[in-house]
Structure 1
Amino acid sequence: MTSIAAFMAAMIATPSSAHDGHIVDLTTEQQIALNIYEDIIGFRTARGHSQVPAMVTYLTAWLKDEGFADEDIMVTDYDSAGEPTQGLVVRYRGDGLSGRKPIVLLAHMDVVDALPEDWERPPFELIFEDDYFFGRGVMDNKFGVMNLTQTFLRLKREGWTPNRDLYLVFSGDEETGMVSTRAQAQWVAENVDPEFVLNSDAGGLALSNDYTPMAMRVQAAEKTYATWELTITNPGGHSSRPRSDNAIYELAEALGRIQDYKFPVRATDLTRSYFAALGQTVPGELGEAMQTFSQNPKDVDAIATLQANPETVGTLGTTCIATMLRGGHAENALPQSATATVNCRIFPGEGAAATEGTLRELTGNADIQFKLITDVTESPESQLRDDVRAALAKSLQARWGQEIPIIPYMESGGTDGMHYRTLGYDTVAIGGAGSRPQDMFAHGLNERMYVDAFLNGLDHWVIMLKELAGD
């Protein structure tokens, strides 16, 4: 691995914000990447702050400065649940000598919000500390935005011309309504019609406890994303005159039943092959459970081990979890309503309607109103093409100096990729970074990126694109 000691020695300041001192001994490309990374972390591109357009303006300035023509940069405006956002599409013109269709590369510019009072460090400032970068989006997905942007800038400076067109497609509300995502996917289908789509927003290297690479994970399928609001209403009254029926208590009882329920265990060829391969690299009880489940998906002990681990529970079937709660209207009044938001990640083939039916049955309360608040997309599985696999293997060998297993898997979360799969395009996610399971804090507090993984990932897309679109 790249020595972190040299990088740490180059940081001339404490405490360790990238702005507190200057960074020396970085290559020009590393410095540019770090500058972009630091700046875009500073945009609070979360719902309610309307900063995606400012980030788009920032990125387009970089691209134009490096010679991308106005006609090859498209900024699109969208309304996402009453808030303005934007999408960005950038065309890297090829010479067309290959006669092959374009390649589309995905990332999203928005983030899940982070409350500064909850974090140990300022979430919208890039902080360097203990071999890590900290900040909202350092993993999900501003590393991907930076990584693809600096790749286009670098290739342009090198004077490289691809043998087919390449497109960056950055969405503005992937974490919420996906309005920009859906519109961009449709535009791509109608105007670009790529040969395939590569996504920066998932996949990546699985690192061991000592940061050595275990396997390259390739997202080839996604669970269906669906969210319901569960609401119960009540006449209410004065808090000094309690009633036997109480909206908050009734809703809490229903949520407890959902909490206790485990959806049926499911297994497909993709999930079983994923566990079989990854289980060979994961030590201890977890690795043994992966291999056992791959051979016998009904093994009770293996299922219990995998369901107890946040990294693997979502691969075994549908999961539903309460994520938001509101109720009551005054401290001295009985609640007239209580609402919980329940987010489900639905195993392929089960469907949102069947999942809602299960939730209704679980709550056991006909008075609870169910409202589906997401536009549900159910997407097919994609294939990892031979040319993409070969290019990925070359990137890994060049960056790590060793052969690393490449393992397709099903994503428990959701990404822009689902909408391109639904339109018929093979879409795989092969993010350039890596992380250990214990370092995954996307959507949570103190999101982090291991600095070596950051530096190592900067060559990822350069190698990939030269292999897939070079002479």
Structure 2
Amino acid sequence: MMIRTICAAAGALAAATAASAADRELTPAQAKAREIYETAIGIRSAKGHGKVPELAAYLADELKSAGFTDEDIEIMPLGETAALGVRYRGDGSSGKKPILFLAHMDVVDAKREDWEHDPFVLREEGGYFLGRGTSDNKYGVVNLTQTFMRLKQEGFTPTRDLVLLFTGDEETGMETTRMLAYDRKDWSDAEFALNSDGGGGAYLPDGAPLPYFIQAAEKTYATFTVTSRNKGGHSSRPRADNAIYDLARALLKVEEYKFPVMSNDITRASARSGGELIGGDIGKALVAFADNPDNKKAIKTIRANEDYSNLLSTTCVATMLDAGHAENALPQSAAATVNCRIFPGVEIEAVRETLVDVIGNDALEVKLADDRFVASPVSDMREDVTAALKAAIDPRYPGIEIVPAMSSGGTDGMHFRRAGVPTYGVSGRISAESENSNAHGLDEHLPVKTFYDGLDHWIIMIKALAGPDEE
């Protein structure tokens, strides 16, 4: 595609960055985006409240008001939650399969008594939007929704179908994600997917951009339960096979064990970029590792740094304990929760078998806590996606470097990758280096500047990837 012509269309929405809505003259597109944002934040789409279908219906109505029809939209209920699919029909001139655009409508719950203000009422204060979901991931939901609406209203016809897929339980069981990725191929069969819940960039206090990290891989999230059992007895008659002690010895072995170092093109590129940026001993070690993943000195330095050690391998750590039944009785059982973040391409069963070998006690049971966990492959980088992303970012931050990266957390992308759809985290979010959105925590927030600056992000990407060729 002729991306240079698309860049010229950017920037109109990036002008409004003042701290207060009263000080800002909003364009109609900006005002509509803010309205949708405020309404979406106001719907408590957390597990147990049954509000995700309400949010899906609201978004569907907004999209219909912009020109989408009932035939273009499907709300897919599943238990108390739901998924939303929206098809933007192309003319088929590219001969290519659709592109998926991903976001999740659900949020981690928040209690009113824990927050100074109601977490489900959007407020703007000190240059930030505050409220549950402002960052994770209603920003992505709103940004993609307003993008489809604006493109439809301007009469844009893509050269292939574009498909919005909004899931309803990414923060919990990912059942709607599984349904879409594996069971609803009528919606999810695509050439690739772009995920609003991954990737992102930052800038320094002087405005100079840091690298933008595009998520092309993520570690699998899997939890195991390690259990020790025996017949117990009275606490006045201690036994040699105390269930708590047996479990404790097992956990110390897990603590000491380091999974084998692994790497791929994505993690090496990320290590190199990060190392060149931060410098110092850890920076040198990261660059040396990128040059030679067998460099023992570099590995030792990285292993010792808690900010970067998870780049090297699968990690497992004890996170919860449950043992005994009475203070004057020997424990009949003791169980520990061990959470693992598994390197892309490694199967979950292989990690369980490793834990069994490390513990070295056949009397202890090592069991996967939930069989819904899945391994996720790496998505090979695509020049067209990278070029479109650069076109979207350059109007805001000319010359920004785009670097592939692996996420240590989990997103919907893991299931789409496993289902054979390469997936890339390319969020429109770029904010200050020091910025922490506190997603899942108190006073979750998103900079007002980031919100408005990113409203053209997906429009530029879509026109680069699915717009007509220009001579």
* TM-score, structure 1 normalization: 0.85
SS of match in other structure, 1:281: helix
User: For the structure 1 residues 326 and 318, does the alpha-carbon distance in structure 2 shift closer, same or farther, using more than 3 Å as the test?
Assistant: same
Corresponding residue for residue 66 of structure 2: 66
Corresponding residue for residue 457 of structure 1: 454
SS of match in other structure, 2:44: coil
Whether 2:388 is the aligned partner of 1:391: answer: yes
Whether 2:426 is the aligned partner of 1:415: answer: no
1:107-126 correspondence to structure 2 within 5 Å: 107-116=103-112, 122-126=118-122
Corresponding residue for residue 309 of structure 2: 313
* Distance in 2 (alpha carbons) for counterparts of 1:60 and 1:431: 22
Out of 282, 287, 290, the residue aligned to residue 283 of structure 2 is: 287
User: For the structure 1 residues 327 and 137, does the alpha-carbon distance in structure 2 shift closer, same or farther, using more than 3 Å as the test?
Assistant: farther
Corresponding residue for residue 3 of structure 2: none
Whether 2:363 is the aligned partner of 1:374: answer: no
Whether 2:342 is the aligned partner of 1:340: answer: no
Corresponding residue for residue 127 of structure 2: 131
SS of match in other structure, 1:449: strand
**Aligned residues of 2:14 and 2:453 also touching (Cα < 8 A):** no
User: For the structure 1 residues 68 and 190, does the alpha-carbon distance in structure 2 shift closer, same or farther, using more than 3 Å as the test?
Assistant: closer
Corresponding residue for residue 5 of structure 2: none
Alpha-carbon distance, 1:202 to partner: 0.7
Bigger CA drift: 250-259 or 419-428?
250-259
Whether 2:350 is the aligned partner of 1:354: answer: yes
SS of match in other structure, 1:287: helix
* Distance in 1 (alpha carbons) for counterparts of 2:181 and 2:206: 39
Corresponding residue for residue 31 of structure 2: 31
Whether 2:462 is the aligned partner of 1:470: answer: no
**Aligned residues of 1:232 and 1:247 also touching (Cα < 8 A):** yes
* Distance in 2 (alpha carbons) for counterparts of 1:281 and 1:182: 38
* Distance in 2 (alpha carbons) for counterparts of 1:416 and 1:381: 14
Amino acid aligned to 2:164:
L
**Aligned residues of 2:345 and 2:378 also touching (Cα < 8 A):** no
Tell me the number of residue pairs that the alignment of Structure 1 and Structure 2 aligns.
Answer: 455
**Aligned residues of 1:234 and 1:337 also touching (Cα < 8 A):** yes
User: For the structure 1 residues 4 and 100, does the alpha-carbon distance in structure 2 shift closer, same or farther, using more than 3 Å as the test?
Assistant: closer
Query: CA-to-partner distance for each residue in 1:330-374, whole Å, 9 max, x for gaps?
Result: 677665544333221111343222211222234444443222113
Corresponding residue for residue 217 of structure 1: 213
SS of match in other structure, 2:277: coil
Query: CA-to-partner distance for each residue in 1:114-170, whole Å, 9 max, x for gaps?
Result: 455555665444344443333333332222111111111222222322222111001
- Structure 2: state its 5+ residue gaps: 1-10
**Aligned residues of 1:139 and 1:447 also touching (Cα < 8 A):** yes
Amino acid aligned to 2:161:
D
User: For the structure 1 residues 374 and 385, does the alpha-carbon distance in structure 2 shift closer, same or farther, using more than 3 Å as the test?
Assistant: same
Whether 2:38 is the aligned partner of 1:41: answer: no
Cα RMSD, aligned residues only: 3.2
Whether 2:18 is the aligned partner of 1:7: answer: yes
Corresponding residue for residue 17 of structure 1: none
* Distance in 1 (alpha carbons) for counterparts of 2:230 and 2:42: 44
Alpha-carbon distance, 1:216 to partner: 1.6
1:117-196 correspondence to structure 2 within 5 Å: 122-187=118-183, 189-190=185-186, 193-196=189-192
* Distance in 2 (alpha carbons) for counterparts of 1:262 and 1:291: 21
**Aligned residues of 2:17 and 2:449 also touching (Cα < 8 A):** no
SS of match in other structure, 1:280: helix
Amino acid aligned to 1:222:
E
* Distance in 2 (alpha carbons) for counterparts of 1:336 and 1:62: 57
Corresponding residue for residue 18 of structure 1: none
User: For the structure 1 residues 338 and 57, does the alpha-carbon distance in structure 2 shift closer, same or farther, using more than 3 Å as the test?
Assistant: farther
**Aligned residues of 1:326 and 1:339 also touching (Cα < 8 A):** yes
Alpha-carbon distance, 1:250 to partner: 4.6
**Aligned residues of 2:285 and 2:301 also touching (Cα < 8 A):** yes
SS of match in other structure, 1:61: helix
User: For the structure 1 residues 67 and 240, does the alpha-carbon distance in structure 2 shift closer, same or farther, using more than 3 Å as the test?
Assistant: farther
Bigger CA drift: 45-54 or 457-466?
45-54
Bigger CA drift: 144-153 or 191-200?
191-200
* TM-score, structure 2 normalization: 0.85
**Aligned residues of 1:264 and 1:317 also touching (Cα < 8 A):** yes
Amino acid aligned to 1:313:
S
* Distance in 2 (alpha carbons) for counterparts of 1:201 and 1:287: 27
Query: CA-to-partner distance for each residue in 1:290-349, whole Å, 9 max, x for gaps?
Result: 222212334455435544555533221101133444445567766554433322111134
* Distance in 2 (alpha carbons) for counterparts of 1:184 and 1:376: 16
Amino acid aligned to 1:36:
I
Amino acid aligned to 2:45:
T
- Structure 1: state its 5+ residue gaps: 12-22
The structure, 1 or 2, with the larger RCO (C-alpha pairs under 8 Å, 6+ apart) is: 2
Query: CA-to-partner distance for each residue in 1:187-216, whole Å, 9 max, x for gaps?
Result: 553456322211111111144466642112
* Distance in 2 (alpha carbons) for counterparts of 1:466 and 1:43: 31
1:230-245 correspondence to structure 2 within 5 Å: 230-233=226-229, 235=231
**Aligned residues of 2:102 and 2:197 also touching (Cα < 8 A):** yes
SS of match in other structure, 1:356: helix
SS of match in other structure, 2:90: coil
* Distance in 2 (alpha carbons) for counterparts of 1:309 and 1:146: 37
* Distance in 2 (alpha carbons) for counterparts of 1:237 and 1:128: 60
SS of match in other structure, 1:45: coil
Bigger CA drift: 331-340 or 311-320?
331-340
Query: CA-to-partner distance for each residue in 1:165-190, whole Å, 9 max, x for gaps?
Result: 11100111222222211211135534
User: For the structure 1 residues 415 and 463, does the alpha-carbon distance in structure 2 shift closer, same or farther, using more than 3 Å as the test?
Assistant: same
* Distance in 2 (alpha carbons) for counterparts of 1:370 and 1:183: 28
